[in-house]
Structure 1
């Protein structure tokens, strides 16, 4: 069996976490690449809060959140393709097979003796990659982006103008008809402005002045000055700096020993990487003739650059580890990740994530939950009362409920974005993401009834599924686990939502 390191509750909570997008200026990306990492990769090991945080629910009661984790990714404007997802999952399983010589179970079938591995070490890697590679959908909002970090270097000639450009770019991606992906949680996405200061090359006094201007324009809760790269001589220092990034990068890269030669802590790179390669999941990806992969051409900031091992890629740009090492003679070793960072830099990045989450993201989520609750209290009550009165007037009697097998297939039904039913689902998903499982259950339960009334079976199945999970995760199990909710959701997905 797989050796699962997490409990079921921990696994579920880690699978559904607040999603945060990233847009970087070219200079900011260049400064993080000194560590052979993109910005989203740089912060990824520090994305779990080390202390308990709290927020207030719509009833003004304090709600505590433990071990909160966020997911930070580059913006990718193309949905993952099924073929690429299957390829990724196959590679993950292949790279996670048990070592030779381990104990196996022998099963005799006729003249054949089959050696079956007694363990499945690939299972957790497969499961993690499967969840991360699932594309965002329209009937649920759990993996829609709640916020966007806009990252600009302090060495920019006009940092404030660069922030404005990135802000306009994010607005264009979300609100124009040009892009249908990625998905955003609400129209008013939280924008968090990050000034990245490279200690080894920037003027600290200038960075402080720019940051003061940022605080006046965006507020102290909406911006941050992050200082990195204080280790000026990576090769000359005898200090052993840990590499917390390896476990978060592409697993096939880390588990395939063909990638390493003399130094097991190093990663491979083409000799001409500065001019001909873009890093992708810790790997290096060859560029097309014009210097950008085909899917990157539309954006001046290379928005579609995949940086998350969880599957934000497409079938043309996904590169396997085998393809990267076929011409090993042309490749040489690079130092480990984070070569320009000290332990103080690690602490600064960790503190940055803490500040962003506590002072930026959680207040934004709290405010959004309150707004949704207020909207539903007014709009839904009015719309439902009118609907019920009209229905009663024309029908004259109550319509009997139908069983799952009698309901017609309305999987293609789409609600408008402002529909009260979707606002309830959004509120439920937000509560779930911040571990308020009791309120989440109530919202999912209400949404489930509305979707069933409309025979919107895909939406109803999603609400049933998450209502069951919310009940399961409630501390102390105040109500019995509604197994029939999950059974009905599975049956609906299987028989109706085809």
Structure 2
């Protein structure tokens, strides 16, 4: 069967399109033991997240995807966003406001010499590419603003799609450590309060530090892991295979992801080329062989359920007349309006997963369906959220800028 390319449109090449495809991507929650973190920190103090993040963006993959349509298409670009459980929460509003003010202030200081110089000719400005005429602070401000609004209970694209559990081969009883990692009280409130489905994809990674000796013990542990958790969901990663060397940060993939204090020219590394290659392979396999197929399957299952119960004229009339309001309302008043098991949350997951897999048509159809439900329920924050995503879907489809603008205006007014 012939396969279409990734259904990206010309808007995917614009600054906004690139930002959306960079920021609205699957989240992976990383849970690790102190021993695993210690092995990573031998390398200029890198945390596990910092170790993995440079290899979570893929520009040259070729993964076939089939969502609602029988016609597959291909994903060539994909990105994972990695977070610790402690980071999976809405940022503090006051801290966020101060951070945004600082971004603008820093931008003003940086742009002062340019503002005091002679302005460029209009013809030069019109001929210059968008990336050169856009203010340097604009992208930074947009990303900070997106992060300030992340991890809300009324949206699903920030809810972790998968969980990467990492235990060191030096940990005592590693199998029990894997089990304990997901059964702690450190999990995000979104999960504990019922907004997020606790049955998420899990991948088990055994980390072996070659500075501690031969990986023979780790290989035996891997066999035990596979018999416990399944052969396809377990992996061994060996790091620190080199003698300590001073890193050259100018050519280092971790430089954009660490603090200035970590970028010392005296930073010591124990990672060699083979270690880095294994990390790259780990992250690409996690994406292409686990997360993308998992999302694809979830979309197909949810789409079948929604099509059978909610789509079509008869189902719409039934929903309109017999709708009983917010389903599965939690007992705690501070909990989410809709729990993960409610039909509304399931449709939102379907729409957000479809958007992250670049099936914008499918995403738009489900956001439209939800828009009616939320309006009937007077769930205005949720309504504004799907109006916003409808606008972004219209934009990515490059179909109707008027519809996109109307949806964004509706979202803005409703949020207010």
Q: TM-score, normalised by structure 1?
A: 0.67
* 1:287-341 deviation line (CA, Å, top 9, x unaligned): xxxxxxxxxxxxxxxxxxxxxxxxxxxxxxxxxxxxxxxxxxxxxx6734x7222
Give the drift of 1:23: 0.7
Match of 1:418 in 2: 341
Aligned match for 2:66, one of 56, 69, 74 = 56
> Is residue 83 from structure 1 mapped to residue 94 from structure 2 by the alignment?
yes
Alpha carbons of structure 1 residues 491 and 390: separation in structure 2 relative to 1, 3 Å: closer
Q: How do 1:207-222 residues align onto structure 2 when only pairs under 5 Å count?
A: 207-222=218-233
Give the drift of 1:206: 1.0
Q: Where do 5+ consecutive residues of structure 2 fail to align? A: 1-12, 120-132, 324-334
Where 1:138 maps in the other structure, the secondary structure is: coil
Aligned match for 1:149, one of 157, 164, 183 = 164
- Corresponding residue pairs, total: 374
Please state which structure has a larger fraction of its residues in helix: 2
Match of 1:490 in 2: 409
> Is residue 137 from structure 1 mapped to residue 68 from structure 2 by the alignment?
no
Give the drift of 1:470: 1.4
* 1:185-235 deviation line (CA, Å, top 9, x unaligned): x33111111111112214311111111222222223212211211122224
Match of 2:253 in 1: 244
Where 2:269 maps in the other structure, the secondary structure is: coil
> Is residue 195 from structure 1 mapped to residue 202 from structure 2 by the alignment?
no
* 1:421-446 deviation line (CA, Å, top 9, x unaligned): 33222101000011111211221222
Alpha carbons of structure 1 residues 90 and 341: separation in structure 2 relative to 1, 3 Å: farther
Q: Tell me, yes or no, if the aligned pair for 1:464 and 1:485 is still in contact at 8 Å.
A: no
Q: In the aligned structure 1, how far is the partner of 2:349 from the partner of 2:257?
A: 29
Q: Where do 5+ consecutive residues of structure 1 fail to align? A: 108-117, 254-258, 260-265, 268-332, 392-411
Q: Tell me, yes or no, if the aligned pair for 2:207 and 2:239 is still in contact at 8 Å.
A: yes
Q: In the aligned structure 2, how far is the partner of 1:69 from the partner of 1:453?
A: 36
Where 1:149 maps in the other structure, the secondary structure is: strand
Q: In the aligned structure 1, how far is the partner of 2:111 from the partner of 2:253?
A: 24
Match of 1:15 in 2: 23
Give the drift of 1:90: 3.2
Aligned match for 1:434, one of 346, 357, 373 = 357
Alpha carbons of structure 1 residues 12 and 488: separation in structure 2 relative to 1, 3 Å: closer
Alpha carbons of structure 1 residues 413 and 363: separation in structure 2 relative to 1, 3 Å: closer
Alpha carbons of structure 1 residues 386 and 51: separation in structure 2 relative to 1, 3 Å: closer
Give the drift of 1:493: 3.2
Aligned match for 1:168, one of 183, 204, 211 = 183
> Is residue 451 from structure 1 mapped to residue 374 from structure 2 by the alignment?
yes
Match of 1:124 in 2: 139
Where 1:192 maps in the other structure, the secondary structure is: strand
Aligned match for 1:30, one of 26, 30, 38 = 38
Q: Tell me, yes or no, if the aligned pair for 2:85 and 2:187 is still in contact at 8 Å.
A: no
Alpha carbons of structure 1 residues 422 and 154: separation in structure 2 relative to 1, 3 Å: same
Q: How do 1:38-437 residues align onto structure 2 when only pairs under 5 Å count?
A: 38-49=47-58, 50-76=60-86, 79-96=90-107, 97-98=109-110, 101-102=113-114, 104=116, 120-169=135-184, 173=187, 179-180=192-193, 184=196, 186-235=197-246, 242-249=251-258, 253=260, 267=263, 335-336=266-267, 339-380=269-310, 386-388=318-320, 414-437=337-360
Alpha carbons of structure 1 residues 20 and 354: separation in structure 2 relative to 1, 3 Å: same
Structure 1 runs, 4 residues or longer, greater than 6 Å off = none
Match of 1:473 in 2: 396
Give the drift of 1:126: 2.0
Give the drift of 1:41: 1.2
Q: Tell me, yes or no, if the aligned pair for 2:68 and 2:362 is still in contact at 8 Å.
A: no
CA RMSD, aligned part only? 3.2
Structure of higher CA gyration radius: 1
Alpha carbons of structure 1 residues 454 and 383: separation in structure 2 relative to 1, 3 Å: farther
Alpha carbons of structure 1 residues 481 and 364: separation in structure 2 relative to 1, 3 Å: same
Q: In the aligned structure 2, how far is the partner of 1:485 from the partner of 1:124?
A: 21
Where 1:423 maps in the other structure, the secondary structure is: helix
Give the drift of 1:78: 5.2
Which segment drifts farther, 459-468 or 23-32?
459-468
Give the drift of 1:357: 1.0
Q: In the aligned structure 1, how far is the partner of 2:363 from the partner of 2:190?
A: 31
Q: Tell me, yes or no, if the aligned pair for 2:385 and 2:411 is still in contact at 8 Å.
A: no
Q: Tell me, yes or no, if the aligned pair for 1:468 and 1:481 is still in contact at 8 Å.
A: no
Q: In the aligned structure 2, how far is the partner of 1:64 from the partner of 1:246?
A: 31
Q: In the aligned structure 2, how far is the partner of 1:488 from the partner of 1:161?
A: 49
Give the drift of 1:364: 1.6
